[in-house]
Amino acid sequence: MAVRSKAFILLHAAWHALRLVPRAWRHGYQDAKVIWEQDGELSYYRLSAVWQRVVVRGALVLTGVGVVSLVISGWHSWQVVQEREALAEAHVQIQQALAQALPEVPVTTTEGVNTQLVLDLTARIQERDWLIQTLIQSTSTQLAADNATMDAQLRRLGIDQRMREAIVAGTPRGGAVGPHDAWLRDKLPPALLQSMVRNGELRQVLRALPMHYPLRQARVTSDFGMREHPITRRVQMHAGTDWVSDAPDDRVFAVRAGVVSAVGKHPQYGLMVTVTHDSGVVSRYAHLRRISVARGDRVGVQTPLGLLGSTGMSTGKHLHLEIFIAGKPVDPERVLRMAQHVQQVKID
Residues that bind Zn ion (CB under 5 A): 242, 320
Cβ proximity to Zn ion: between 277 and 320 the closer is 320
Q: Which of 287, 313, 292 is nearest to 302 (CA)?
A: 292
Cβ proximity to Zn ion: between 151 and 223 the closer is 223
Min dist. Cβ of residue 142 to Zn ion (A): 41
Cβ proximity to Zn ion: between 57 and 227 the closer is 227
Name the closest residue to Zn ion (Cβ): 320
Min dist. Cβ of residue 231 to Zn ion (A): 11
Residues contacting residue 244 through CB under 8 Å, at least 6 positions apart: 215, 218, 219, 221, 308, 317, 318, 319
Distance between CA atoms of residues 189 and 92, nearest Å: 31
Give buried/exposed letters for 48-67 (b at 16+ CB in 10 A, else e). Answer: eeeeebeeeeeeeeeeeeee
Query: Residue 199's Cα: distance from chain center in Å?
Result: 16
255: helix, strand or coil: coil
Residues contacting residue 111 through CB under 8 Å, at least 6 positions apart: none
Min dist. Cβ of residue 274 to Zn ion (A): 15
Min dist. Cβ of residue 176 to Zn ion (A): 38
Cβ proximity to Zn ion: between 253 and 285 the closer is 285
Cβ proximity to Zn ion: between 34 and 231 the closer is 231
DSSP state of 181: -
Min dist. Cβ of residue 290 to Zn ion (A): 19
Min dist. Cβ of residue 226 to Zn ion (A): 13
Cβ proximity to Zn ion: between 9 and 237 the closer is 237
Residue 260 burial by CB count (10 A; 0-12/13-18/19+): exposed, middle or buried? Answer: buried
DSSP state of 280: S
